[in-house]
Amino acid sequence: MIDGTVLFFLISILVLAAFVGFEVISKVPTMLHTPLMSATNAIHGVIIAGAIIVTAMVFSNGTPSWWLQTLAVVGVALGAINVVGGFAVTERMLQMFKKKSGPTK
């Protein structure tokens, strides 16, 4: 299944992604920290993909027990809350940063 080479490959990805994470955020001004936190929060909602895979997995050998079915639905729902809520809240915050040509000075 997963041999040492694949594991090494996955760990390399992890290390590189960590650097990208540090680089990307180090340039964000303070005023955008809350929207940024909210956006990263939405991005880790990609966990819903994991919930989708395991749901398909438990259903692949016929109908699973009721509690596995329940957990599968709950897992997908929680992931969806994270993704949809996260992006929607971020969008709402950012809507307020629209540049206004107000009477400045």
Partner 1 sequence: MTELPIWFDIAQIVAIALFILGLRYLSSPATARFGNRLAMVGMGVALIAFIAETHGIGWWAIALGAIIGSAIGLVFALRVKMTAMPQMVALFNGAGGAAALCISVIEIGAGQPPIPWLIIVSLVLSAIIGALSASGSIIAFLKLQEVMTGRPITYPGQQIVNALVLLCIVGLGGWMIAMQGDVPIGAVIGLFAAALALGVLFVLPIGGADMPVVISLLNSFTGVAVAIAGFELSHEILIVAGTIVGASGTLLTIMMGKAMNRPLSNVLFGAFGSGGGGEAAAASGGPQNVRSASADDVATMLAFASKVMIVPGYGMAVAQAQHSVKALADQLEARGVEVKYAIHPVAGRMPGHMNVLLAEANVPYPSLLDMDDANPEFPTTDVALIIGANDVTNPAARNVTSSPIYGMPILDVDKAHNVIVLKRSMRSGFAGIDNPLYELPNTAMLFGDAKASVDGLVSAVKGL
Hunting for tokens 């180090």 — which residue is that?
26
x/- contact string, 40-79, with partner 1 (CB under 8 A)? Answer: xxxxxxxxxxxxxxxxxxxxx---xx-xxx-xxxxxxxxx
With CB under 8 A, what is the number of residues at the site for partner 1? Answer: 90
Contact flag: residue 8 with partner 1 (CB under 8 A): no
Q: In the bound complex, what is the minimum distance in angstroms from residue 63's beta carbon to partner 1?
A: 10
What one-letter code names the amino acid at 105?
K
Q: List the one residue from 5, 8, 34, 66 that touches partner 1 (CB under 8 A).
A: 34
Q: In the bound complex, what is the minimum distance in angstroms from residue 12's beta carbon to partner 1?
A: 10
* Cα separation, 23 vs 8, whole angstroms: 23
* Other beta carbons less than 10 A from residue 105's beta carbon: 2
Q: In the bound complex, what is the minimum distance in angstroms from residue 28's beta carbon to partner 1?
A: 4
* Cα separation, 30 vs 72, whole angstroms: 39
Q: In the bound complex, what is the minimum distance in angstroms from residue 29's beta carbon to partner 1?
A: 7
List, as one string, the DSSP characters of 30-55.
Answer: GGGHHHHHHHHHHHGGGHHHHHHHHH
